[in-house]
Chains A and B, each alone.
Chain A
């Protein structure tokens, strides 16, 4: 009954990746020789204690940063060798971000925030506006499209950011502690939304969390400790999710 995802083709590959931050004399090795593969349609949870290098890894996977050593491949292309504008374009098309602090643009309405990636990808106005409206409805904010982030609750803002992450119809959704700023009920609902996207849209989801309860929604765990991958394993006990959304989401936040 569950939809089977094509997990043969890798979409993100990290090969012998090091990331070192230098702060004056002190060097912090945030990632130490990390290699991993994430395939199309995966739902991966990157777990580990605070400071273990999860965000650093996310930034590399999301092409927001480049490794100190080693290579990162996105859709078989070496991001360290790409021009800035090609990389931006590839990032915009392939990856959608969900951040812990939502990172919405304060002076734009929910609708404009969701529209932004579409405008960056030069969608025509009609289809861009249609898609933005549909996505906001999908996350249960069809009636709050004109609201600014400050007029929305944390849960609602995070749903706007989910809608934004999906706008350009990316292959991969990266979520770095997406529930970190939310209460546990709202947090679980956000996770369920992600799970549903994975299930119904066939997206590749990469979830960063230090909370093992939330990680249970994923298919696989990658555990980091002190910048090293200490465990990669399949989730034998995937959280059961109830798909009565989106109506149910009207109540979130």
Chain B
């Protein structure tokens, strides 16, 4: 029998499938849809992370107290300029201080040094208050190092005192009334004048940045004056970053006079590598979970195929009586299974695409933000690529075929008399 005729018969079988077969298809649909939703979410995240990372200054190197092998000085720090979760939590003893800055100044590859501290503290405005992250930075260099852009007003200047630059999201949406330029906000009872607001990049930004001397005043209980949570340095253009990191490490080791490294030097490059390895393993992990549901769908198809072969035993006998060969029966049932995979895959692709845009709007619309990755207005959090759709569809058809092989073989091997006698 020609293949197109086998396909026609198989199609006819699918069209007249009982409800049970459609339930099988639902299994595949869910499997395919979840693979697509999850993979697209993973890809979208990776995409956003990458674009944020690439907006970072490639020449930026961050030093933090305490030694963490391999990893950078904490993820929270990238993208948002100053801030971070304080990578030194594990080592209370080692600190970074003025001596380290002096040692760094002697390194010719370094063009800028910014010392900073940060912590959460009580901030109030217009009768409301909240607990927010406050960063103290070196007003001489911060404006040249930060990846934030100023939207209104200006950045900090060397002589500034008692002033802050705040993030766009904080200014426009945190308190009931928006904070505008020139207003005073109260931090730990001290009054600070807002001289700058960052521009709206679509990214979630509630930062408060002030000169480091002021910050010791408001974060005083947790910070020791002249100890830094981290030091950012910018290398001169064209510097070999790995060599510079090695040199900085060596210089600080000798100036601190330590045998085992008690600080961490991480470059943007390191950060990019470790972040993308985390996001890709996350994506892989999620995909594996989704693949399990696809597997469940496959078992469903196989089960449905076995039942279908039983139900169609008589028809198989009839077809054999009128001249069908084993190969024809095998082909028809394989097509049948493949079509179930295809139909399930197509519906799954549609559902998965809808689900992924739904997830995207859920994450962005509600202002939910993953650390450092906001999405408000800044494009979709998920990324559905044609490659994935086609790939998943192909997998779904393949899974259908694979799960149909044994039932189809069984069907083809039925003896015509036995099949015809089946009721």
User: Are B326 and A88 closer than 8 Å at their CB atoms?
Assistant: yes
Binds A, one of B206-214, B311-319, B399-407: B311-319
Q: A64-B416, A120-B1 in contact; A105/B323 too (CB < 8 A)? A: no
Within 8 Å of chain B (Cβ to Cβ): is A59? yes
Interfacial chain A residues near B321, Cβ < 8 Å: 62, 64, 91, 97, 103
Interfacial chain A residues near B1, Cβ < 8 Å: 119-120, 122
Chain B residue nearest in CB terms to A56: B417
Interfacial chain B residues near A62, Cβ < 8 Å: 321
Q: A119-B2, A119-B5, A122-B2 in contact; A103/B318 too (CB < 8 A)? A: yes
Size of the chain A interface, CB-CB below 8 angstroms: 30
Scoring A62, A99, A103, A122 by chain B CB atoms within 10 A of each residue's CB, the highest score goes to: A103
Q: A91-B323, A120-B323 in contact; A105/B2 too (CB < 8 A)? A: no
Within 8 Å of chain B (Cβ to Cβ): is A202? no
Interfacial chain A residues near B315, Cβ < 8 Å: 105-106
User: Are A164 and B417 closer than 8 Å at their CB atoms?
Assistant: no
Query: How far is A96 from B322 in the complex, measured between Cα atoms in Å?
Result: 7
CB < 8 Å neighbour of B323 from A88, A103, A107: A88
Interfacial chain B residues near A88, Cβ < 8 Å: 320, 323-326
Within 8 Å of chain B (Cβ to Cβ): is A227? no
Within 8 Å of chain A (Cβ to Cβ): is B12? yes
Interface string of B1-31 (1 = CB under 8 A from A): 1100100000011011000000000000000
CB < 8 Å neighbour of A85 from B15, B319, B322, B325: B325
Chain B residue nearest in CB terms to A102: B318
Minimum CB–CB distance from A33 to chain B (whole Å) comes to 20
Of residues 138 through 187 on chain B, the ones whose CB sits less than 8 Å from some CB of chain A are none
Query: How far is A88 from B416 in the complex, measured between Cα atoms in Å?
Result: 10
Q: A105-B315, A107-B12, A107-B13 in contact; A121/B416 too (CB < 8 A)? A: no
Q: 15 more A-B contacts (CB under 8 A) besides A91-B323, A103-B318, A117-B323?
A: A59-B417, A64-B321, A64-B420, A84-B325, A85-B327, A88-B323, A88-B324, A92-B324, A97-B322, A106-B315, A107-B15, A108-B12, A116-B319, A116-B322, A120-B322
A-B contact pairs, 29 of them (CB 8 A): A64-B321, A64-B415, A64-B416, A64-B420, A65-B416, A85-B325, A88-B324, A89-B323, A91-B321, A93-B323, A99-B420, A103-B317, A103-B420, A105-B315, A105-B318, A107-B13, A108-B12, A112-B12, A116-B319, A117-B323, A119-B5, A120-B1, A120-B324, A121-B323, A122-B1, A122-B2, A164-B322, A167-B322, A168-B323
Residues on B lying within 8 angstroms of A by beta carbon are 1-2, 5, 12-13, 15-16, 314-315, 317-328, 415-417, 420
